[in-house]
Amino acid sequence: MYKENPELGLDKMFEDTILEMMDGEPFDIYVALFLVFNQLRYEHDGRSSFVIDRDKVLKKLRQTLINNKEKLMNYFEWACGNYEGGAWGEVVRIDELCKEKFNISIL
């Protein structure tokens, strides 16, 4: 849809929504992290219709994760219950994947 109608600004809406989610509760932060990770994967693989402002998004993501580490360590809803340390375990796992695949750290 973005390729056919770039004037809709879906890339900006997507980015703004992710940034806004980072100001939310642990679940919102977890979803924002997952969306950023998937966007990085799609950009890396050439499957994304647009690119996000990595500097802006990753800077805020890093700060959000560090500022909410304790909350994320105590968040065990959804898939986060599969990791020791709650959602923080997933953060560490995704950080390792980002380092390995994209040479980027989210922490």
Residue 96 has pLDDT above 80, yes or no: yes
pLDDT at 86: 86
pLDDT band at 76 (very low <50, low <70, confident <90, very high): confident
Segment 12-61, tens digit of pLDDT: 999 999 999 999 999 999 999 999 999 999 999 999 989 999 999 999 99
What range defines the domain where residue 25 resides?
6-102
Question: Is 42 a member of any domain?
Answer: yes
For residue 58, give both structure tokens.
């990753």
Inter-residue contact 65 to 90 (CB < 8 Å): no
Residue of 83, 94, 34 whose CA lies nearest to 102: 94
Question: Is 107 a member of any domain?
Answer: no
Residue of 26, 21, 38 whose CA lies nearest to 85: 26
67: Cα within 13 Å, side-chain hemisphere? 11
pTM of the shown model: 0.87
Over pLDDT 70: what percentage of the chain? 88
Inter-residue contact 66 to 6 (CB < 8 Å): no
Residue of 4, 7, 58, 54 whose CA lies nearest to 33: 58
Residue 1 has pLDDT above 60, yes or no: no
CATH number of the structural domain spanning residue 71: 1.25.40.520
Segment 51-60, tens digit of pLDDT: 999 999 999 9
Question: Is 79 a member of any domain?
Answer: yes
Question: Is 92 a member of any domain?
Answer: yes
Residue 80 has pLDDT above 60, yes or no: no
Total count of domains within the chain: 1
pLDDT at 63: 98
